[in-house]
Structure 1
Amino acid sequence: MTAVPTRQPPFGRLVTAMVTPFTGDGSVDCDLAGRLAVHLVDHGSDAIVVCGTTGESPTLSWDEQHRLLSAVKQAVGPRAAVLAGTGSNCTAEAVEATREAAELGADGALVVVPYYNKPPQEGLLAHFRAIAEAAPSLPLMIYNIPGRTGCQLDVDTMAELRSCPSIISYKAATGRVAEVSELRARCGTDLAIYSGDDSLTLPAMAAGAAGVVSVASHVAGSEIRSMIEAHLAGEPDRAESIHRQLWPLFRTLFATTNPIPVKAALELDGWPVGAPRLPLLPADAAMRTTLSTVLAALRQT
């Protein structure tokens, strides 16, 4: 079949939303974070997100987030883009965090829809415009995940935000592939849409997504990269075959709250990233057994 005609998206195809490693006493382990980031790039990641949902941003201080950003940026150098999670339900806080990320050398920022306070669409429009104006040279990825925030960014609002030159990408995490089609229809082809769900990467790309902001790439980056490349090369059967091989991992990594399972998977793979901070808990014995079985099966394919 003919290869899929594409343009190079701003943050590549495979973006890993990286976990935050903690030491035994619960402190942030910046050294391990840098080494893990290099490993992820070595296994197919074009970009790394630090201090996003998977990075447990709600339990990190801003000082910890700044140190993580600097450590990961230094570790990967020019090999990959590094995005900072700078979202907040306080606009002033998100503005300051985004400005600070730009000053620290971030290549972009992932900015989540404000959570808990449920602003109307006019408030979301003003919120994201204020962030874009605060650091106009920093590329932004808007992150829509109503299952966590309790607030939905409407497609029409996103279309209005396209007037901000720095708002160039969007992480679609509603669990609906139709979201990609709706965004394409209203926002055109210039907006780089990334699937926010590993299991929907392939169908989302078929609908026009540029790639994925992935969790599973912590332990299956090369395989996900191969699936994406097969799709782009016009080899749907090979892409679908890899998707099927990855499906048990995708399902298991989201059997409970992220990043509980992926941190356990990394530990099983020899990365001592530590337990999540409370109120999240470590994976239980049953989850670890299931992950071990799934990872072993994947390694044999």
Structure 2
Amino acid sequence: MDFGRIVTAMITPFHTDGSIDWETTGRLMDYLIEEQQTDSIVVSGTTGESPTLTDEEKIALFKFAVKHAAGRCKIIAGSGSNETAHSIHLTQVAEECGVDGALLVVPYYNKPTQEGIYQHFKVIAEGTKLPIMVYNVPGRTIVSMSVETTLRLAQIPNIVATKECASLDQVTLIASQAPADFRVYSGDDSSALPAVAVGAYGIVSVASHIIGKDIREIIDSYLKGDVAAAYKLHAASLPLFRGLFDLPNPVLVKAALKLKGLPVGGVRLPLVDATETELAALRRILN
């Protein structure tokens, strides 16, 4: 399975009453595919506010995204949680919905050992035929999946990729030691170029909602050997890469989409929308 170089962790549009805005979800997908040139879309990931989505909403998103994409990009279901049995169930349902892959996060809050993390992903993988991207984000899960555990998981046939947010050192070590067909993705926009330089295949991005074409140009320029062009565009993009995370994700990317003329609604509690002062700072970055 080739998820491509640019994977967008898509936000979930909401109406003012907090329900999913399906019409805007379709428009957003069209925009990401046609204008921002994304290769794959993650639905019901952290950026999609998965902690506040019900299972019914997640399943509806899986079905909607598959139907609306109509083969124009890959659809990856955010079907992981900190409960193994629940993750198996949701991943199997996602497979029935026709998604192209699953994104499974390291179990959060439970604080499992490395063996527990390995067994969690192994058992889920055994319960599905979907290609799986594991997701290491210690800033949210507290526990970090080690390089050694990731390399063990890379031996499982349908665990095909990792989204790595721990460090560039981990990206380097995994990319240099994993099987050739196992792909490493950075989960940090500001590390997209450095990660590719040390062996990552691509980026699972939030900023691609706004500058997806630029991120593709950064990666393509580097891969073609035009490092100067890649560096120049990366440096120009860095304020946005960082600025979108001045507040908890996805508060500011939703605000940025509204400022660009694509209102996608606010965020669900316990997240809150940006203040006018915070929006003013975002406008300066976008300008």
**Alignment TM-score, normalising by the size of structure 1:** 0.93
Aligned to 2:210: 219
For structure 1, list consecutive stretches of 5 or more residues without a partner in the other structure.
Answer: 1-8, 297-301
1:258 maps to 2:246: no
SS at match of 1:79: coil
- Contact kept, 8 Å, 2:154 with 2:161, in 1: the verdict is no
SS at match of 2:134: strand
Alignment map for 1:240-251 (pairs within 5 Å): 240-251=231-242
Residue 175 of structure 2 contacts residue 183 of structure 2 at CA under 8 Å; is this kept in 1?
no
Amino acid at match of 2:124: I
Q: Is residue 88–residue 124 contact of structure 2 (8 Å, CA) maintained in 1?
A: yes
Counterpart residue number, 1:56: 49
TM-score normalised according to structure 2 size: 0.97
Fraction of identical pairs, as percent: 47
* Length, aligned pairs only: 286
Q: What are the Cα deviations for residues 157-180 of structure 1, in whole angstroms up to 9, with x where unaligned?
A: 111112311000000111x21111
**Partner Cα distance (1:158, 1:216) in 2:** 26
Matched, 1:13 2:14: no
1:163 aligns with 2:155: yes
1:104-131 C-alpha deviation (Å, 9 max, x unpaired): 0010000000000111111111110111
Say whether 1:125 aligns with 2:118.
Answer: yes
Q: 2:154–2:179: 8 Å Cα contact kept in structure 1?
A: no
4+ aligned runs moved over 6 Å, structure 1: none
Partner of 1:234: 225
Distance 1:31 1:64 in 2: 15
**What's the secondary structure of 1:288's corresponding residue?**
helix
- Aligned with 2:112: secondary structure? coil
Indicate the larger mover: 188-197 or 109-118. Answer: 188-197
CA distance in 1, matches of 2:164, 2:216: 19
Q: 1:99: Cα distance to partner?
A: 0.4
Give 1:273 deviation, angstroms: 1.0
CA-to-aligned-CA distance 1:210-252 (integer Å, 9 cap, x gap): 0100000101111111111111111000000110110110111
Which residue does the alignment assign to 1:154?
146
Q: 1:120-156 CA distances to partner (integer Å, 9 max, x unpaired)?
A: 1111111101110110x20000000011011111111
Backbone CA RMSD of aligned residues: 1.1
Query: 175, 184, 193: which one pairs with 2:175?
Result: 184
Give the whole-Å Cα distance in 2 for the aligned partners of 1:199 and 1:184.
18
What is the CA distance between 1:190 and its match in structure 2?
2.3
**Match 1:83 to one of 76, 98, 102:** 76
Distance in 2 between residues matched to 1:258 and 1:123, nearest whole Å? 28
Task: Please give the alpha-carbon distance, in whole angstroms, between the structure 1 residues aligned to 2:22 and 2:157.
Answer: 33
> Which amino acid is 1:241 matched to?
K
